[in-house]
Structure 1
Amino acid sequence: MLPRPEMFKEVIFTPRIIAFNQSFVVTVKHSLPTAVIWHGAIAGRSREDITSTFFAFLLSVRDSKHMILWLENCAAQNKNWTLLTFFIYVVNSEELALKSLTLKYFEPGHTFMAADSFHHQVERSLKKMGKIYDFEDFTEAVKHATIN
């Protein structure tokens, strides 16, 4: 939630905004992570909202013909009909060059992913920036995390 009050000596009671970050880390050398970020005034964390982040990512790599996605084994987030029917749509869509999409899920309890190290970089970037007042500050912190 923004602002991050632990960085301030005094907290003024004010509505806080919830910031979301869905990360996509390509395991090809010299590829930067893609972070789809939004806040609670734009959307929430429903199945449709999460699915839209996958669409944003796939548009950023729209020339890829074959893709393997490794997903956490979270049924609510990564195994719902909204997301699975979306994947059928994108493979058949003319908007993307995608011809095949393979979904692989980690075993429950074994979910260390490349995205975890990116999330760590985001946290380091937030701490390095110091005070985070608003969504623009959060956006800058995420941008700097992708450079590291």
Structure 2
Amino acid sequence: MQFTAILKKQKISIHHPRKDQCDICSGFKVGTIDDEEYRNHIKRKDDARVAKRAAKESANSEKLVITMDLQSVLVCPKTNASSMYYKQKLQVHNFTIYELNKGDVHLYVWHEANGGVSSNEFTSCIADYISKISNSYKHVVLISDGCNYQNRNKVLASTLSDLAKTKSIVIEQLFLAKGHTMMEADSVHATLEQYFKPPINSPADYIARMRLARSKQPYNVNVIHYGFFLKYDDLNTNLSSLRPGKKRAIQLLLTFVK
């Protein structure tokens, strides 16, 4: 008690990291990562942040800039009863899109009985969002982490290519460096966590609290049914790989060896 009183008097608090620490930065501190790898990592981090800042500042009536991320798994039911920890729970997913232009937020929410967390689900959400944006936007920048099944795969890239042609717009993806993916979408998740205090008995409880989380500029909550998701990976994708040059080089090498 005395220790806590002194900390309060001196206005000192103990910082608890909200996110996992970067593996490379942590490895460098303990000596398992060499200087060159660490310097390249920091350069990629700084370059990505500069690009993100430039994209944010360039947002205007014709250029839409968004950040997007999946919130940590929400379990349902959520109670303070210790025995419930060992019970089977339903997983609820919240994919968040934050518009840097005006601060509008779009939440795509579903539970595991309606969909999983494959490229199909995230491509369906992003395609639905872009298809509904104002026709005044001629350029869209998507800022996210480099998670493969969410944002960095040929399924999403092919769909975005088709959308760009259909809407006659430019769609650009910006990936932040792994371990340093602080985005405005994360602030939405931090706000929501304050409203997700137990008890929560059903997915509907999560959804109701999401709609109450920001009174001045409410979140746009899209409750997703299984019929919403399309199997984009079964469609004929116009991109066979995100790195066609490397894949082509491998094919030529195999041909040469044969």
Compute the TM-score of the two structures, normalised by the length of structure 2.
Answer: 0.50
Q: Is the 8 A contact 2:131 2:163 kept in 1?
A: no
Is 1:144 aligned with 2:212?
Answer: yes
Instruction: Work out which of the residue numbers 73, 78, 84 in structure 2 matches 1:4.
Output: 78
Is 1:38 aligned with 2:106?
Answer: no
Q: Is the 8 A contact 1:2 1:19 kept in 2?
A: yes
Q: Is the 8 A contact 1:32 1:147 kept in 2?
A: no
Question: Structure 1 stretches (4+) deviating beyond 6 angstroms?
Answer: none
Distance between the aligned counterparts of 1:122 and 1:17, measured in 2?
18
Q: Which amino acid aligns with 2:78?
A: R
Distance between the aligned counterparts of 1:146 and 1:22, measured in 2?
17
Q: 1:121 deviation in Å?
A: 0.9
The RMSD of aligned alpha carbons is: 2.1
Q: Please state whether the residue corresponding to 1:20 is helix, strand or coil.
A: strand
Q: Which amino acid aligns with 2:144?
A: L
- 2:201 aligned partner: 133
Q: Which has the higher contact order (CA 8 A, sep 6+)?
A: 1
Q: How does 1:50-89 map to 2 (within 5 A)?
A: 50-63=122-135, 64-89=137-162
Identity between Structure 1 and Structure 2 (%): 22
Q: 1:101 deviation in Å?
A: 0.8
Query: Deviations along 1:17-69, whole A, 9 cap, x unmatched?
Result: 1100100001113x321111101111000111111111232234243321111
Q: Which amino acid aligns with 1:27?
A: L
- 2:94 aligned partner: 21
Distance between the aligned counterparts of 2:174 and 2:85, measured in 1?
45
Q: Which amino acid aligns with 2:77?
A: P
Name the CA shift for 1:12/1:111 in 2 (closer, same or farther; >3 Å): closer
Distance between the aligned counterparts of 2:170 and 2:133, measured in 1?
14
Unpaired runs of at least 5, structure 1: none
Query: Deviations along 1:50-91, whole A, 9 cap, x unmatched?
Result: 111112322342433211110102233211111111111111
Q: Which amino acid aligns with 1:4?
A: K
